[in-house]
């Protein structure tokens, strides 16, 4: 086998762009980042205190169960039942993971063989597309509508004998939209039919990424597809503590999977990780004991920053389109310009000291798009950051703006 053949799979995987933007920010001190999706607030004190419990038991320094420690699994099951209307029973189960990115890769490796197809909705989360390619599978990209909502009829048309899953993210990264219960139910039904008699048992899973489940605004509600009737056999739900509890570096999340996938997922996780970091599992247990009541006041503060961004972005309607975003902590801007989005990002950083993420990394190859994140900003920094962005877009005279025609 030649070196080219050995490297060919990874050559199809896009390089992570967040570190590239981070390096540009470091080269321009004082830059305000509207780039990486993190929150500013710390983990709850109960999570820190739980680490003492971990340290007090010497057995915790040994390997633990592949799928997670029993007290945490029990706490997750209670949270799922009370908040997501997902009952853990004989047909499904919980697996604790090192973040929801690991959960996604676990799922892809468990349900596919090389050459299988996974349907993504564009703009997609780049790590999902990367994981699919790492697994030697094929991402099938379906566009969302002008408001970045799902188009179930296009998803249905894209299903082939090689389709193994349809991926949805709600609240969405990168757009911030929250998918309707009706559209999620339609996708879930399409996947259910993949397991129905007469389908040749091809098996299509609905992989639902719900990392931003708590981040919704203006009365909009998050829906978990696994709460739909008769969904446990074909629905894989992914969750993370990184956002809601300020756990980004702790790498802890979990997945709800059909019971028939448990052994396959355990094989993947045991090979890759053996068990999720036990110290982080104890911290997660402490966080879940406090629960959403800890996150709520911080999310209310983020909502104030969101309002600032939304109001000020309206002044850009002559040069970009901003879609209503009721979840996560992102806005996804369509810039009416011929400029390459990465070149625009570099210009914003170098000339205006404000950073965003180019839409091309989320699969938007045609046109110029920016994702801006506001979850980590205090009010004063938020005002300064959005003002710099607006100034940069307005004052970029060398950028060939087109006349705005909407989406």
What would the mean pLDDT of 253-267 be, rounded to a whole number?
97
Q: What is the mean pLDDT of residues 218-245?
A: 96
What is the per-residue pLDDT for 337?
86
The CA distance from 197 to 107, in Å, is: 23
Q: Output the average pLDDT for the chain.
A: 93
Residue 369, φ and ψ in degrees, nearest 5: -130, 150
Secondary structure of 57-121 as H, E, C letters? CHHHHCCCCCCCCHHHHHHHHHHHHHHHCCCCCCCEEEEEECCHHHHHHHHHHHHCCCCCEEEEE
| SS3 state of residue 255 | strand
Contacts of 357 (CB under 8 A, 6+ apart): 17, 18, 21, 35, 36, 174, 345, 370, 371, 372, 373
- Per-residue model confidence (pLDDT) at position 400: 59
Q: How is the beta sheet containing 235-240 ordered, strand by strand?
A: 92-97, 253-258, 235-240, 205-209, 163-169, 117-122, 138-143
- What percentage of the chain carries pLDDT values higher than 90? 87
Single out the residue of 314, 321, 359 nearest to residue 341, CA to CA: 359
Task: Give the mean pLDDT of 240-264.
Answer: 96
pLDDT score of 213: 98
pLDDT of residue 405 exceeding 50: no
Query: Which tens digits make up the pLDDT trace of 329-345?
Result: 999 999 998 889 999 99
**pLDDT over 80 at 375, yes or no:** yes
pLDDT score at 7: 58
Residue-wise pLDDT for 376-397, tens only, equals 999 999 999 999 999 999 987 5
Of the listed ranges 109-113, 160-164, 196-200, 288-292, the least confidently predicted one is: 196-200
Given pLDDT bands bounded at 50, 70 and 90, which one contains residue 404?
very low
Query: pTM of the prediction?
Result: 0.93
Confidence of residue 219 (pLDDT cuts 50, 70, 90): very high
Per-residue model confidence (pLDDT) at position 131: 97
pLDDT of residue 6: 55
Give the pLDDT confidence score for residue 407 in this predicted structure: 41
- How many Å apart are CA 68 and CA 80, to the nearest integer? 16
Q: Give pLDDT tens digits for 344-372.
A: 999 999 999 999 999 999 999 889 999 99
87-101 mean pLDDT: 96
pLDDT exceeds 50 at position 406:
no
Average pLDDT over residues 272-300: 96
Distance, in Å, from the CA atom of 114 to the CA atom of 109, rounded to the nearest integer, reads 9
* Residue 255 near residue 235 (C-beta atoms within 8 A): no
Count CB atoms within 10 A of the CB of residue 344: 21
Helix (H) or strand (E) holding 237, with range, is strand 235-240
137-195 pLDDT, tens digit each: 999 999 999 999 999 999 999 999 999 999 999 999 999 999 999 999 999 999 999 77
What is the DSSP secondary-structure string of 333-383? EEE-BSS-HHHHHHHHHHHH-EE-EEGGGGT--SSEEEEEE-TT--HHHHH
Domains and CATH numbers, the chain: 3-42+293-395 (3.90.1150.10), 45-291 (3.40.640.10)
- CA 317 to chain CA centroid, nearest Å: 27
């Amino acid at each position: 086998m030649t070196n080219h053949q050995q490297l060919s799979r990874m050559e199809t995987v896009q390089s992570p762009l967040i570190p590239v933007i981070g390096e540009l920010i470091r080269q321009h001190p004082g830059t305000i980042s509207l780039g990486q999706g993190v929150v500013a607030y710390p983990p709850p004190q109960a999570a820190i205190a739980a680490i003492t419990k971990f340290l007090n038991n010497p057995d915790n320094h040994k390997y633990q169960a592949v799928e997670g420690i029993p007290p945490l699994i029990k706490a997750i099951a209670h949270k799922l039942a009370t908040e997501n209307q997902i009952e853990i029973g004989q047909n499904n189960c919980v697996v604790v993971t090192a973040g929801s990115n690991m959960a996604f890769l676990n799922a892809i490796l468990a349900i596919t063989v090389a050459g299988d197809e996974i349907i993504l909705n564009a703009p997609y989360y780049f790590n999902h597309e990367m994981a699919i390619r790492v697994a030697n599978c094929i991402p099938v990209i379906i566009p969302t509508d002008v408001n970045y909502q799902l188009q179930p009829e296009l998803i249905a048309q894209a299903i082939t004998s090689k389709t193994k899953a349809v991926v949805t993210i709600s609240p969405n990264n990168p757009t911030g939209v929250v998918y309707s219960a009706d559209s999620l139910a339609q996708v879930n039904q399409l996947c259910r039919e993949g397991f129905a008699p007469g389908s040749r048992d091809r098996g299509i899973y609905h992989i639902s990424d719900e990392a931003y489940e708590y981040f919704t605004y203006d009365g909009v509600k998050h829906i978990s597809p696994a709460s739909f009737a008769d969904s446990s056999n074909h629905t894989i739900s992914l969750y993370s503590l990184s956002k809601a509890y300020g756990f980004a570096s702790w790498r802890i999340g979990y997945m709800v999977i059909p019971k028939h996938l448990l052994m396959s997922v355990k094989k993947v996780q045991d090979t890759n990780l053996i068990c999720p970091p036990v110290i982080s599992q104890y911290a997660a247990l402490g966080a879940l004991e406090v629960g959403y009541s800890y996150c709520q006041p911080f999310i209310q503060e983020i909502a104030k920053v969101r309002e600032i961004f939304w109001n000020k972005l309206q002044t850009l309607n002559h040069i970009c389109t901003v879609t209503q975003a009721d979840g996560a902590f992102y806005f996804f801007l369509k810039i009416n310009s011929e400029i390459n989005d990465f070149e625009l990002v570099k210009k914003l950083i170098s000339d205006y000291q404000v950073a965003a993420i180019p839409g091309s990394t989320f699969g938007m190859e045609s046109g110029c798009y920016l994702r801006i994140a506001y979850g980590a900003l205090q009010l004063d920094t938020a005002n300064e950051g959005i003002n710099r962005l607006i100034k940069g877009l307005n004052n970029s005279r060398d950028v060939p703006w087109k006349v705005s025609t909407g989406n």
